[in-house]
Structure 1
Amino acid sequence: MHYKEITSTQNQLVKQILVLKEKSKERRKTGRFVIEGQRELQLALQANYTIQTLLFYPELVSESDLDTLIPSQIEHIIISKEVFQKLAYRHTTEGIIAIAETKPHHLDGLTFQNKTPLVLIAEAPEKPGNIGAILRTADAANVDAVIIANPKSDLYNPNIIRSSVGCVFTNQIAVGNTSEIITFLKHHQIAIFCAALQASVNYYTQDFTAASAIVVGTEATGLSDEWLAHARQNIIIPMQGEIDSMNVSVAAGILIFEAKRQRGFL
């Protein structure tokens, strides 16, 4: 099959891809984002993301490999080594870079397959690496939804996609402000458990077998007062060292897997 080829780093499409990677404003305006890597691309396709264009470096991925990975109707473009090195964040990208369409992540788009959903909520997470790690934890635990409250970064930040190893595509995710999310949880009769130091009890003393939302905040500021005011119970992870907090993704993992243990999945 004959493919279009790009050999210049000054090509207009190359410039567009670089802007999409670097600017959240451009991702929001165009409704497009960039995916790197075979695994990430496969997960996006399984989640029914629309792939507009696929660029590949033939020294790292063959046309026959592409045929098994990517639907033939997607535009394929061969890129040179120089273009690939310009576009790829990491050299383990396996020669694949794709442009995809974003999805909306509204609260009213969430659907629950059971009557006792388990939801993980992160308020105002700032570091893409932490968001990615939270999404990996959520995927590992197969939670019913992840909700980001008052997000500081859009979900299609390349660092989130990379650090989540594609779990941004495998989780059911919504974003909203704290008030909207609390209203949503109360409407669905989902109990709120806030990870906080104030008026808290050890996390393992609580019953997470009913519909539950576990809410975590940042290490620096914790959760806002609005969350604490609507919590059924504040919960804490007892620690034996000198500090009183841990990385938010680690804390989320401990709490979520306790809920899964109670539900008989461990």
Structure 2
Amino acid sequence: MSTTESASNYNHLERMSVQELLENINREDKTVPLAVEKAIPQLEKLVTATVELLQKGGRLFYIGAGTSGRLGIIDASECPPTFGVQQGMVVGLIAGGDSAIREAVEFAEDDQHQAWKDLQKYRITENDIVVGIAASGRTPYVIGGLETCRKHGIATGCIVCNTESAIAAVSDYPVEVITGPEFVTGSTRMKAGTAQKLALNMLTTSTMIRLGRVQGNKMVDMQLSNEKLVGRGNRMLMEELQLAKPEAAALLQKYGSVRAAIEAFRKSDSV
């Protein structure tokens, strides 16, 4: 039996006080970053491969079911506003389609052929990379998708929470984050889900930095889609260019992005 399905280290949860529940959940959660740390060598290989393919114009696809699929969609949807990349560079696909984001679609994850059908809608090519996300490591939707990708010469990776899984076996760049038993037996939305979220953060953030989407430690390509982000952009310019707030705000409004504003200012300053 997989470790994610093994019995919780705690019993009689219904007899615990609220404080005991929270403290014990937190105690288990503290083990997750350590599990992710052990997977860094595997993550490094996945990031390196992803960067190389995206530099060639390829895309990063996630395929998953349930919580895993939703986490992939979240990570993909946050890349354009955070790093200013075009929509479609990172794509999250979930078994059961978009309706499964909010409500479980019965038996959707059991179709071994659907993931490839979903990927074909995007005209997937050998320049792309497909990462399967599954706590169990045995979701048929993901296995079938990765198997077919490999047959077509498309690079594959995965983020799973069990060792020697069927999904890792069909992945060129497997990442195994072994989180062990859940506080509530089998509830992989907890520790396993947290581990997957951390790994996804590391994958796309590292990739985007290597692609030049961050300068120093700043999101210079972020989309200025609300007042909070406009304010952040102003502060970046004030700090980077030693400008007063009115000057920074005018510059940002004129050029529409932090990167463009910095480049324009430095070009004019050097003339």
Same fold (TM over 0.5): no
Give the structure with the larger helix fraction.
2
Q: TM-score, normalised by structure 1?
A: 0.31
Q: TM-score, normalised by structure 2?
A: 0.30
> Whose relative contact order is higher, 1 or 2, with alpha carbons under 8 Å and at least 6 apart?
2
